[in-house]
Homo-oligomer: A and B are copies of this chain.
Amino acid sequence: MSATIAIVLFKDFEALDVLGPLSLFRAVPTLRTLTVAQEAHPVTTSGGVSMLPDTTFDALRDVDVLMVPGGEGIVNALESEATLAWLRDVGSRANYVTSVCSGSLILGAAGLLRGYRATTHWRSLDLLPLVGAEPVHERIVHDRNRITGGGVTAGLDFGLTLIAKLCGDEAAQSAQLALEYNPKPPFNAGIPETAPPEAVRRFVEATIARQEQRRKLLGKP
């Protein structure tokens, strides 16, 4: 099946949330990706990367797949009524509504996860109930036409999962081969359950203020 995947960009999104799945999608000839932002200007991310969106909210009203990344900058999307309104509208008609990392909080703020099982970066799982979603601590969570991925690097597993659904297992396997995705992390510290407790404690403490800000934005009436 051919499909158009629209990837939403906002100021200071996490570049890897987008580049992981996007690199996989681009290895599939029948998939078309479109990055979309509110305006036709380059969007900054962490790491000195900027990304020029392919199109704008006004110019794109129908997509097969909607994908929202996360990152430090999700506050910019959560505070943008224009972004949330566009997501609410386009998401209501998309075949799949998807996210990577804390992008699910944006989907939730747009009302798109109410009554759905969903996941997000492990640090933000406790915020999902604020938007009416049931948090699930899994790498990828698929509930009806919602597919949400865990933190940052989960975008690769998410990308393959989505390709398989859209284009079949063979297309996903070919993309995996092209990107030599045969992971061998030298440590087993990717989730709080297996990371050194001290590393978990430090990360949690360093992000208290950020999480409180998110909680307030999501909890507002």
Say which residue of B121, B153, B174, B195 sits within 8 Å of A156 (CB atoms).
B153
- For chain A, which range describes its interface: under 10, 10 to 19, 20 to 34, or 35 or more residues? 35 or more
* A196→B173 contact, CB < 8 A: yes
Copies of this chain, count: 2
Nearest Cβ distance between residue A125 and chain B, in whole angstroms?
Answer: 11
Q: Which 3 A-B pairs have the closest CB atoms?
A: A151-B180, A182-B190, A173-B189
Nearest Cβ distance between residue A140 and chain B, in whole angstroms?
Answer: 8
Contacts of A202 in B (CB 8 A): 174
Q: Which residue of chain B has its CB nearest to the CB of A180?
A: B151
A-B contact pairs, 28 of them (CB 8 A): A22-B47, A23-B47, A33-B47, A42-B50, A49-B49, A50-B52, A139-B182, A139-B184, A140-B186, A150-B180, A151-B179, A151-B180, A152-B179, A152-B181, A153-B156, A153-B181, A161-B186, A172-B187, A173-B187, A173-B199, A174-B199, A174-B202, A176-B187, A176-B190, A177-B190, A177-B199, A177-B200, A183-B190
